Copies of this chain bind each other. A is one copy, B any other.
Amino acid sequence: MTTEEKIFNAARIVFQKKGFAGARMQEIADEAGINKAMLHYCFKNKQLLFEAVFMNAFSQLAPQINEIFNSEATVFEKIKKFTNSYISFVIVNPYLPSFVIQEMNNNPEFVLSFLNHKNRPNPTPLLAQIEKEIADGIIKPIPPKQLLLDIFSMTVFPFAAKMMIKGIIQLSETEFNEMMEERKTSIAETIINSIKK
């Protein structure tokens, strides 16, 4: 592993745990097991190191969404596949959703740089498909964007608000993970139950 990779991995861990403002360059250096000056030698400054980490995190989430949403399957199949594979992915990258959400909220101006990003999730084809299946009588009438938002919400929220959920519903770490396993199929069931004719 190159020094740059060591730094990047360390930065990912620290930034995702503490956020941009809470992260300390020294902590990243310690985590990487190298001298703090190397951070600046490799990544110039904190902002650029952060942007590298954030861009990477975001670009891990985005193409995965596009791949499923823009495939040839039916809406029902896409919903099943998305919830299942997204939850699988997030279970092994648990800090990602809250990290991305937090930093997008804290740096709204930074969001703009992703609207033009080539790997931006693009829901347009799926929205059109939903409209078509409604017109074809396969799906009950529902505003397509609301449906999309419902799916995202049920899938991502428990990970984004993990600590709050665990606190309110009183779940241990194991129980939380078991519940998320169950959600791989239950979310799609709930949604499809609700919109199928």
Contact = CB atoms under 8 A, between A and B. Distances in A.
Contacts of A187: 150
Nearest to A100: B164
A167 B162 CA distance: 23
B160 A161 contact: yes
Interface of A: 17-22, 98, 100-102, 104-106, 108, 111, 114-115, 120-121, 123, 140, 142-143, 145-146, 148-150, 152-154, 156-158, 160-170, 179, 182-183, 186-187, 190-191, 193-195
A153 B164 contact: no
A162 to B, nearest CB: 7
How many chain copies?
2
A152 B105 CA distance: 20
7 contacts: A19-B21, A114-B167, A120-B168, A121-B168, A149-B169, A153-B153, A154-B154
Nearest to A187: B150
A160 B161 CA distance: 9
B191 A146 contact: no
Interface centre among A100, A164, A187 (most CB of B within 10 A): A164
Contacts of A100: 164
Given A140-B193, A143-B186, A160-B160, 15 more contacts: A19-B19, A98-B102, A104-B167, A105-B161, A111-B163, A114-B167, A123-B168, A146-B182, A149-B157, A152-B165, A153-B153, A157-B157, A190-B194, A191-B194, A194-B194
